[in-house]
Chain A
């Protein structure tokens, strides 16, 4: 390959590495957003032991930052036209690529377990809402907050509380559903306690909370797995060009 073509290839490698470094840094930031869990829905995945979406986010934090550092090293190695440095760069990038693949696949698969349909969330709610254990308290707090903020009740509808038995029903047999399902005034008092207890639809939230929970967990998953996937495709393309450049170096 002529010297001019080699220089051109070198610039392509440097440019792609610069873009990949920026993409890696953005992946680092997005994964931190997921790990911080601004919507505070971690107990719903943590209590059932299926919190791999958050584990994948932690992996993505490390691989995103590692991509950033290694791509800067790659720019340096390409400018120096050194075979040894390019070989080191290729091997390190490949290892980080494997870890990031694991993160993307884990997040996508785990989302299917958690929110593929409303069964797991509903069973967890019926089992742990109102229970006195640590998990029970976490689930109760999470569900109360979701029901009050999103204005919903139950997983699919308030009828979940009537169709199935639950820990809540055993502790409070006179209540059909939790008081967080009732509409409140701006002073936080219940609008109509007697009406809500009986099921008047004007005093009770009638939509289910599953749609909201599913949309939040999906948003976390798309951040880690789809954005991770797109960074990986960019890195794959960069590595293929880097390998061609490596083969042309003497």
Chain B
């Protein structure tokens, strides 16, 4: 039984191998972030298996179902940039993405993510956050000292001689 399975497995062609597709992870891949307002940073197809082949990234904008394709050449090992930058996207929109290697018909699974939204900088509240302890201490003690000196001056001018 095991031998049959082994033979079947060996006969299984590499055509059905899946290309890995994922967003780059800041902790593993050493990037700042992979989701931008207008682009995504995706993992490249394996350089040792697909290096120097031409590939396509098919992506669909979800609400409108607009299909687009980006063609590129998979860089050979060793790679200088660990990711593929998919540009010219819209903020806050969900996209479906899939890799396809030309000629060999290898595809990846579908990756669905949303680009980030930008906040307008005018919305940042730059008012006084809080009064620090130092400021309160200095103000209180100096105000008390000013009043004490004034009273002392008045007393010394009135009650002297």
Give the interface of A toward B (CB within 8 A): 48, 83, 87, 90-91, 94, 97-98, 101, 104-105, 108-109, 111-113, 116-117, 119-120, 122-124, 126-127, 158-159, 162-166, 173, 176, 194-195, 198-202, 204, 206, 225-226, 229, 232-233, 236, 239-240, 243-244, 246-247, 249-250
Q: Which residues of B contact A123 (CB under 8 A)?
A: 121-122, 124, 126
Known: A112-B132, A195-B81. A164 touches B118 (CB 8 A): yes
B125 neighbours in A (Cβ, 8 Å):
119
**Identity of the chain A residue whose Cβ is nearest the Cβ of B139 in the assembled complex:** A105
CB-CB contacts below 8 Å: B143-161 with A: 143, 145-146, 148-150, 152-153, 155-157, 159-161
In this complex, the interface size class of chain B, counting residues with CB under 8 Å from chain A, is: 35 or more
**CB atoms of B138 and A104 under 8 A apart:** yes
Q: Which residues of B contact A206 (CB under 8 A)?
A: 32
Cβ-neighbour of A236 out of B118, B145, B157, B161 (below 8 A): B145
Of A48, A108, A122, the residue contacting B138 (CB under 8 A) is A108
- Complex: A108 Cα to B155 Cα, angstroms: 32
Asked if A201 contacts B159 (CB within 8 A), the reply is: no
Task: Report if B77 contacts A (CB, 8 A).
Answer: no
Contact A113 B128 (CB under 8 A): yes
- Given contacts A108-B135, A111-B135, A176-B36, is CB(A243)–CB(B31) below 8 Å? no
Q: Is B51 an interface residue (CB 8 A)?
A: no
Residue among B41, B118, B150 with max Cβ neighbours from chain A (10 Å): B118
Given contacts A165-B120, A239-B152, contact A109 B135 (CB under 8 A): yes
Residues from chain A with Cβ under 8 Å of B126 in the complex: 48, 119-120, 123-124
Out of A202, A243, A249, name the residue touching B30 (CB < 8 Å): A202
- What residue in chain B is nearest A176 (Cβ atoms)? B36
B31 touches A247 (CB 8 A): no
User: Which single residue of chain B is at the shortest CB-CB distance from A127?
Assistant: B121
Q: Is the CB of A97 within 8 A of B149?
A: yes
Q: Which 9 A-B pairs have the closest CB atoms?
A: A116-B129, A199-B32, A126-B121, A120-B126, A108-B135, A243-B156, A123-B124, A117-B129, A247-B160
Query: Which residues of B from 105 to 153 have beta carbons under 8 Å from A?
Result: 116, 118-122, 124-126, 128-132, 134-135, 138-139, 141-143, 145-146, 148-150, 152-153
